[in-house]
Structure 1
């Protein structure tokens, strides 16, 4: 899906969009770049950013929406996928056309962007690390007692969540430590395959009502569903990891405007796949839970609850398969964050340390990259031991509520700025679309901010 055609939007660079050697891992010139792969073989950074964004929380959000409103909010889930296609395309277009990373773009908008981004990425990583490890461990804790062979081994079925969480965190850190992007891409592609079979399979066995699905594509908001619709449209598919797309493009070797069309195909294909996941979970919620009047928890535990429902309806093996898919979703999301957000931190902190753009310390595999992997892995283990302190959660909520409006608004400015080659700037259609998206995120951010303040007051 091409959100907008631009002059020179083909396999060759635009005449006024020259390469920018030495920035964001850009190649020295188009002549040294690998040839673009055939479309049917194209698996790129899009699958990584989409898999990273579709974590357990997103699956639960759409599952609960289906359990409460049936198919009424299906259109919102589809809208959420389209929103992410536009946002990620903007981040990728900025990187390919300008030759600079997204952080370098933010820096050009003023010092205030660094003042916001620095505290955000540290607090976000501290809390997200614990959340990701717990989400990856939860299906394993539920799965082990269910497996007849392993479950009979003394003590294994009593394995605490903490042990699994720490194990997942350490394995994830080890897999991304050296910064081998191509290996990460292959691992995530396999995990996405597992997710596809399990999540879509769960939707198929419920025998969905095709007529109701088609009716759910018509925009309508049931009573009490407005904020929920906005949350699904804005929340499904990732937050900070959307901004990591440009870094993964550079790691892949796609670094100049000649890759623009390939990037757009990659991005659209990846979010179509993620859209299928989201729709599948809403189908499961509508057919299994809404029709049966079954309620589940809204946290990650909700997916374990769903596994129990699947077991009672279709047998234990079905719940085992689904729990494996739950783990694949959570672990692939964790791997993407451990790699992508660590690159973003390295770029930011390298700038703070006055390293030039393109310096090893500001790149994947550098020492600042590895520091942030450790930050994501070990300090959050304290939260797993002590529980999540209210003050930290409130800070996370406040900063997090501002990030998606921050990303949408800064992209709107950057893609129209003098730092963007003329041929690749936004037209009025994209400006209107990004403006609407930014407005949605401002409303959602304000609501989340009020909730965080309310938590602090309570």
Structure 2
């Protein structure tokens, strides 16, 4: 099984973090099954963009940042783009790392209780540190695949025990509706699934596993299945959350507490294990993506075991742990990260679409007309949603 799976699982692990769990929980609590279609749209968009990124990575054997840097010939344009990318990815992932570690810590709290709360961030941080320090892609892949399986089963079982109305679920998935005051929740669902740093992570990781365009069929299969499973997990969280009354959910773990009167302690443990797995997988992939981007932007061209590569993810992990252990909530940094990602996604999607259409880069593996139409549609959607999210953060809406 492990020989067949690839970086797609790591991408799925990256987008199903505590932020996704929170957004999906609130979507289910506030709007029932009505926004399941938004998750389906997000998953389809993610598959389209990640397939382009993976294809670029396997054909060029380079990361996305390295290809963009190579293809932008005008120095000031190249330097501006690389600065924006580096700032948004590294600083943004540092902010999100605290949330990832916090989410995994909540999962541990649900499983083991409140007695060891001060130690949980350090346990999560140390676990992520050790796995990244090993510097072996195959080991990292196996650990993350295992955690994703645990997370998937946890959330799927939590959804199943709520005994959902299948017809209502199908209607929510295939009949789009926009309930009153749901637009920001839709933005949150799309924003936590279509993640800019995953485009960099995927392009870099495929070259760790596959070395030839002959493997493109395996790459596509890995991408489609992994991200579809990730979408199924996200939908399961929305479905599970529909059983909770609106006023009862103030944090993610309130979802488990709300299920306890009906299903006993089992739901708490399913949620706790799932949330821990979601947090720790994102705690590994966010620093890893930042290190790959820095590697490409600075032209280091070093492997996972090089000290420069390790220093980038070490700094991000340590800052995340310190923020959580001191109870610091990096609100302003997270606001910056949201604004940066709102700008970054359409910008990166445009550059991605541009480079995968260049014969000099992709040869016979460049985009088809259909892929360009779909990619352009996603870019337009990203621009609209990015503008909305930026306006939300700065207080216009």
TM-score (norm 2): 0.91
Aligned to 1:205: 161
Aligned to 1:380: 320
Q: Output aligned runs, 1:258-269, within 5 Å.
A: 258-269=214-225
Cα separation, 1, equivalents of 2:273 and 2:371: 39
Aligned to 1:313: 262
TM-fit CA distance, 1:230: 4.0
Residues matched between the structures, number: 389
Two-structure CA RMSD over aligned residues (Å): 2.2
Cα separation, 1, equivalents of 2:13 and 2:204: 16
Alignment counterpart, residue 424 of structure 1, candidates 365, 381, 388: 365
Alignment counterpart, residue 413 of structure 1, candidates 354, 373, 383: 354
Aligned to 1:149: none
TM-fit CA distance, 1:378: 1.8
TM-fit CA distance, 1:65: 1.0
Aligned to 2:282: 333
Aligned to 1:117: 85
Go from structure 1 to structure 2 and tell me whether the alpha carbon gap of 1:94 and 1:103 turns closer, same or farther (over 3 Å shift).
Answer: same
TM-fit CA distance, 1:40: 10
Aligned to 2:192: 235
Go from structure 1 to structure 2 and tell me whether the alpha carbon gap of 1:258 and 1:57 turns closer, same or farther (over 3 Å shift).
Answer: same
Aligned: 1:273 with 2:235: no
Aligned: 1:399 with 2:340: yes
TM-fit CA distance, 1:223: 2.2
Go from structure 1 to structure 2 and tell me whether the alpha carbon gap of 1:245 and 1:419 turns closer, same or farther (over 3 Å shift).
Answer: same
SS in 2 for 1:71: coil
Aligned: 1:96 with 2:58: yes
Alignment counterpart, residue 245 of structure 1, candidates 186, 192, 202: 202
Larger radius of gyration: 1
Q: Comparing both structures, which one devotes a greater share of its residues to helix?
A: 2
Q: Is the 8 A contact 2:97 2:317 kept in 1?
A: yes
Cα separation, 2, equivalents of 1:318 and 1:43: 29
Go from structure 1 to structure 2 and tell me whether the alpha carbon gap of 1:389 and 1:134 turns closer, same or farther (over 3 Å shift).
Answer: closer
Aligned to 1:433: 374
Q: Is the 8 A contact 1:53 1:236 kept in 2?
A: yes
Cα separation, 2, equivalents of 1:96 and 1:124: 26
Deviations 1:135-189 (A, max 9, x none): 11112123322xxxxxxxxxxx4323x4211221122111111310101111111
TM-fit CA distance, 1:382: 4.0
Aligned: 1:73 with 2:22: no
Cα separation, 1, equivalents of 2:89 and 2:34: 35
TM-fit CA distance, 1:78: 0.9
TM-fit CA distance, 1:229: 2.6
Runs of 5+ in structure 1 lacking a partner?
A: 1-38, 146-156
TM-fit CA distance, 1:45: 1.0
Aligned: 1:368 with 2:368: no
Aligned to 2:392: 451
Go from structure 1 to structure 2 and tell me whether the alpha carbon gap of 1:51 and 1:389 turns closer, same or farther (over 3 Å shift).
Answer: closer
Go from structure 1 to structure 2 and tell me whether the alpha carbon gap of 1:389 and 1:321 turns closer, same or farther (over 3 Å shift).
Answer: closer
Cα separation, 1, equivalents of 2:181 and 2:26: 14
